[in-house]
Amino acid sequence: MYKITIRDRLLLLATVLLAAYQIIAGLDGLSPLSIWIYTTGFGILLVACLLLIILGFEGLESQGVVIVSTAIPLSISLGLVSVHLPSCFFPYLVFCLVGFGATGVTRFVLRGKAPTLVLALVHGTAGLVIILLPLILSIQGQVPAGYLLVSLGGGLIGLGGLLLAFLRAGKPLLSQEVIYQLLPLILFLMSLSFLGGFSFW
Amino acid sequence: MNKPKSKLAIAKRKFFPLVKSLQTGLLLITGLAGYMSARCPIFNIPTVLGLTGSLLLAISGSTALNMWYDRDIDARMPRTSKRPLSTGETRPEEALIFGLVLSIIGITWALTVDILYGMIIFSGLFFDVVVYTIWLKRRTAWSIIWGGISGGMPVLAGRVLGTGAIDWVGIALALGVLFWIPTHILTFSIRYHEDYQQANVPTFPSTYSFQTTRLIIAISSILATLAFGIASYGVGLTWGFLRLLVVLSAGLFILAVQSLRSPSERITFGLFKYASLYMLSAMLLMFFAGI
């Protein structure tokens, strides 16, 4: 088992501080609902990083990690939809709730390929929303180019989440040690990208 | 040149461990947070210095007295058997004098800063040393309530120094600390259950059961977060700070429930550490909200 290092802890602490800043700062002009949705995503990220600092990577052995790693992109993508595609908010909210529930239920109840398929569908959809929505809005000129950093954050969260999810599903894309070495850096860069992108809002 | 340096090093080795720097530091931060929660200007240097100095001395003194009285217990527990009083490096009378001097200077200084503030600091020291340590700790597991009350005194005292009176916000802040104490101490008593049994100190796990103890931890975590939530409303925390407090509180609550649902050494340790971080973060939020 890869032991957490000082470098990892510092990167995770920096991620905690970035997430805390985003939660405190919020986003100007958004409805309270949208702000709370974003708060949920960054809040889960913050608490998860704190627990990683305290418990080390042994904390990632739990199946609950898969659920947590799904909740973050779902929340952030839902926040983006609530702001930029308000007409799609309700159907997407239903997708998020059902997808989140299905990820949890299939993880603990079903065996075989079903949990991985559900996970890939839910996680992949949320990741694509985070990547594509700012990209399309930027091309249409509705948001500044700097908002594309949100897409970069989406790409990183998708990468980190899928690496972890497939590791837990028993089908690792990289070795466990490499994933654990990369994870703090991915989380930090992801938070930095989100913060940078949202600062253009 | 070498002689004084080595004397200093010896004194540091003999006396510094008696003040439990991390615990003292955390309690000191609660006092400063209580003061800043009253929106007091931090640039009021004499008052801030008086608060910091008197509180630091009084807390350090009470901790040293506590360690002096509990030296026989500490010697029987593997976790604490390396402390200077247990090893004989510090003599009991040295520790007693050290604790008394710090306490007397701290309380006197506090009384000169403000009478009500000083009386609250004194009551915290009294509850900690006399009621908790000397009277109840060896008799009942419920002694932690009195330990909790004394733990809530620094934040109340800080608030009183800022506002000039005991108000409901100060009480709520003190209640937050009081309810947080079981989360902190009971996770500790689960982790070091055998140590406490060896020393014949009654704890919740030994008097009741591990599961009951975990239930109490979960309930006290909820009550602590509620008390801090109410206090933060009274302090006038902005929405951003409130959102962060809600997130941190949710983390504490989920960990406590997880510890109840699927108890393990790892979760207990995580809850213990997270509870300390939670308290530090909550106090820093109150502190920065006041700037």
**93-132 in chain B: CB under 8 A from chain A:** none
Question: What is the reported pLDDT for A100?
Answer: 92
Residue B41: pLDDT above 80? no
Is the CATH number of domain B15-289 1.10.357.140? yes
Contacts B243 to A, Cβ<8 Å: 23-24, 26, 35-36, 39, 43
Calpha distance B188→B198 (Å, rounded): 15
Residue B122's pLDDT band, with cuts at 50, 70 and 90, is: very high
**248-287 in chain B: CB under 8 A from chain A:** 248, 250-251, 254-255, 266, 269-270, 273-274, 277
Segment B117-136 shows an average pLDDT of 96
Let me know the angle formed at the C-alpha of B186 by B182 and B188, rounded to the nearest 5 degrees: 125
Question: What is the reported pLDDT for B42?
Answer: 65
Q: Are B286 and B36 in contact (CB under 8 A)?
A: yes
* Residue A4 DSSP code: P
Segment B122-150 shows an average pLDDT of 95
The C-alpha of B141 sits at a distance from chain A's nearest C-alpha, in angstroms, of 28
Residue B276: pLDDT above 60? yes
Residue B106: pLDDT above 80? yes
Listed as ranges, residues in chain A with pLDDT below 50 are none
Question: What is the reported pLDDT for B4?
Answer: 55
Amino acid at B100: L
CA B185 to chain centre: 10
Amino acid at B245: L
Is A23 within the bounds of a domain?
A: yes
Q: Which residues contact B62 (CB under 8 A, 6 or more apart)?
A: B99, B103, B124, B125, B128, B129, B150
Tokens encoding B115? 């009478």
Q: Are B274 and B252 in contact (CB under 8 A)?
A: yes
Give me the residue from B240, B266, B274 closest to A23, CB to CB. Answer: B240
Question: What is the reported pLDDT for A45?
Answer: 94
Domain edges within chain B: 15-289
Question: What is the reported pLDDT for B3?
Answer: 54
Contacts B191 to A, Cβ<8 Å: none
Contacts A65 to B, Cβ<8 Å: none
The C-alpha of B102 sits at a distance from chain A's nearest C-alpha, in angstroms, of 34
Q: Are A116 and A171 in contact (CB under 8 A)?
A: yes
Calpha distance B175→B168 (Å, rounded): 10
Contacts A47 to B, Cβ<8 Å: 247-248, 250-251, 254
Question: What is the reported pLDDT for B272?
Answer: 87
Q: Which residue of B has its CA nearest to A36?
A: B243
Helix (H, G, I), strand (E, B), or coil: what is residue A71?
Answer: helix
What pTM did the predictor assign?
A: 0.87
Q: Which residues contact B45 (CB under 8 A, 6 or more apart)?
A: none
Give the side-chain half-sphere CA count within 13 A for B183. Answer: 33
Residue B2: pLDDT above 60? no
Average pLDDT over all residues of chain B = 91
Give the side-chain half-sphere CA count within 13 A for A103. Answer: 27
Contact A58 B266 (CB under 8 A): yes
In tens, the pLDDT along B186-230 reads: 988 998 999 999 899 999 999 999 999 999 998 998 899 999 999
Give the side-chain half-sphere CA count within 13 A for B265. Answer: 4
Q: Which residue of A has its CA nearest to B288?
A: A24
Is A1 within the bounds of a domain?
A: no
Is A165 within the bounds of a domain?
A: yes
Calpha distance B149→B175 (Å, rounded): 8
Question: What is the reported pLDDT for B212?
Answer: 92
SS (H, E, C) chain B: CHHHHHHHHHHHHHHHHHHCHHHHHHHHHHHHHHHHCCCCCCCCHHHHHHHHHHHHHHHHHHHHHHHHHCHHHHHHCCCCCCCHHHHCCCCHHHHHHHHHHHHHHHHHHHHHHCHHHHHHHHHHHHHHHHHHHHHHCCCCCCHHHHHHHHHHHHHHHHHHHHHCCCCHHHHHHHHHHHHHHHHHHHHHHHHCHHHHHHCCCCCHHHHCCHHHHHHHHHHHHHHHHHHHHHHHHHHCCCHHHHHHHHHHHHHHHHHHHHHHHCCCHHHHHHHHHHHHHHHHHHHHHHHHHCC
Q: Packing angle between helix B115-126 and helix B143-163, nearest 10 degrees? A: 170
How many domains does the structure of chain A reveal? 1
Tokens encoding B215? 């239930």
Residue B50's pLDDT band, with cuts at 50, 70 and 90, is: very high
Which domain range does residue A119 map to? 6-198
Give me the residue from A20, A42, A55 closest to B266, CB to CB. Answer: A55
Question: What is the reported pLDDT for B258?
Answer: 86
Q: Which of B27, B36, B95 is nearest to B55 (CA)?
A: B27
Contact B243 A50 (CB under 8 A): no
Helix (H, G, I), strand (E, B), or coil: what is residue A5?
Answer: coil
Segment B55-71 shows an average pLDDT of 96
Question: What is the reported pLDDT for B45?
Answer: 87
Residue B91: pLDDT above 70? yes
Residue B268: pLDDT above 90? no
Tokens encoding B98? 């050290």
In tens, the pLDDT along B230-250 reads: 999 999 999 999 999 999 999
